[in-house]
A and B are shown apart, each in its own frame.
Chain A
Amino acid sequence: MHRFANPNQFLRIANPVLPWVAWLAALSIGTGLYLGLIQAPQDYQQGETVRIMYVHVPAAWMALFVYASMAIASATALIWRHPLGFLAAKASAPIGACFTVICLATGSLWGKPMWGTWWEWDARMTSVLILLFLYIGYMALVDAFDEPTRGQRAASILALVGAVNVPIIKFSVDWWNTLHQPASVVRLDGPAIHPSMLWPLLIMAVGFTAFYFAVLIVRLRSEIAAAKIRNIRIGQVHG
């Protein structure tokens, strides 16, 4: 971890990685779209609407994964004062928010024809909406203070506090009666999805994960540059 704490050392590792994750993202999402939209069969109950799963489910996984990463990065920022931990969390927040919006919107578009409703206040949907508010709250808090370190600390604490929501989202469908069905892929007795539908789903998930890391590296580089700009300007004022 300490090796990555220095921004310049991080850039030395991240910059060569960027083209690889970018290509991996493009290739997997392309393959996933072909498999999901053309190759994958209809569902025996849901017909063609099952194709919404290939964006909805990976987006939902990423919404949770990005938040978990953000909480861990915030913890390293709070405890060990890693400057990069905070920047990684700050760079992740908009990406996670985008995945959450995609998850909610595609879920709505899937729910209307199948369940008969765009939205219901069941435990799963409500907890994912809270996740979106946590992302938005984090982004608002980071820039809310004149003194950057205060905003950093407040936002990092919010990210950590909000982490309790992650297991709640995951297990909401098991703990309570919900309109949303229980987990299909990540469950104790193996996936309940036919391989012809599971593969496109997993490939899309790889693509979304690679996309996250590609955009994260771009945003982190941008944040590091912004931090250097701030330092130079402070130096000019005091010098």
Chain B
Amino acid sequence: MSASSPMRTPATRKRRRLYAVLAGLTMLGIAAALVLTAFQDNIVFFYSPSDLTEKELRPGQNIRLGGLVEEGSVKKAADGVTTEFVITDLSKTVPVRYGGLLPDLFREGQGVVSQGTLGPDGVFVASEVLAKHDEKYMPPEVADALKRSGQWKEPTK
């Protein structure tokens, strides 16, 4: 604890460790941000119909397409299994064909994510359809009352 060697006092050693930890965390944060930005494309879970028009797709490439099920677009085919509907992001739309069980939350106006391939005819043939819901939670009566009073906000995404 001699005054001639200040580097050895416990207080400076603690401060040095503090700076080391802070510097380490900063570097780590920057590294994480860089990695996440670099892999941006892989972290995205689905593409919107607008993304799809910009993206170069290999024929038969398996992708996920997400958006809202357009109101009034859901049709059950004559075979009773196949469902046809349109996914929209409110600027572009993509027709979808799917021959499987739909999740309980699947309905018109709701968000969905479907996995499949875009056919040459522009129809997206889905092998899986997942429902997405928004962050709003409320009792049914409240939702009805909001819709009646015209205060209902439709999803914009």
**Touch test A–B (CB under 8 Å):** yes
> Is B110 an interface residue when CB atoms closer than 8 A count as contact?
yes
Are A115 and B131 in touch, CB under 8 angstroms? yes
Report chain B residues within 8 Å CB of A81.
Answer: 14
A163 within 8 A of B: yes
Contact between B137 and A115, CB atoms less than 8 A apart:
no
Whether the Cβ atoms of A45 and B133 lie closer than 8 Å is yes
Q: How large is the interface on B (under 10, 10 to 19, 20 to 34, 35 or more residues)?
A: 35 or more
B136 at interface, CB cutoff 8 A: yes
Cβ contact within 8 Å between A161 and B28: yes
CA of A53 to CA of B137, assembled, Å: 10
Known: A46-B133, A179-B113, A193-B138. Contact between A120 and B45, CB under 8 A? yes
Tell me what chain B mostly uses at the interface: helix, strand, loop, or mixed. Answer: mixed
User: A79 and B14: CB pair below 8 A?
Assistant: yes
Q: Contacts A43-B138, A79-B14, A194-B142 given: A181-B103 contact, CB under 8 Å?
A: no
Bound complex: CA of A182 vs CA of B136, how far in Å?
A: 9
Q: Is the CB of A192 within 8 A of B28?
A: no
Known: A179-B113, A181-B132, A194-B142. 20 other contacts (CB 8 A): A41-B141, A42-B140, A43-B138, A43-B140, A46-B105, A79-B17, A116-B102, A116-B106, A116-B129, A120-B45, A121-B45, A161-B28, A164-B29, A168-B32, A168-B36, A177-B45, A177-B66, A179-B46, A192-B134, A196-B139
> Interface residues, chain B, CB within 8 Å of chain A?
14, 17-18, 21, 24-25, 28-29, 32, 36, 40, 43-48, 66, 101-106, 110, 113, 128-144
Chain A residues in the interface with B (C-beta under 8 A): 41-47, 50, 53, 75, 78-81, 113-117, 120-123, 160-161, 163-164, 168, 175-179, 181-184, 187, 192-194, 196-197
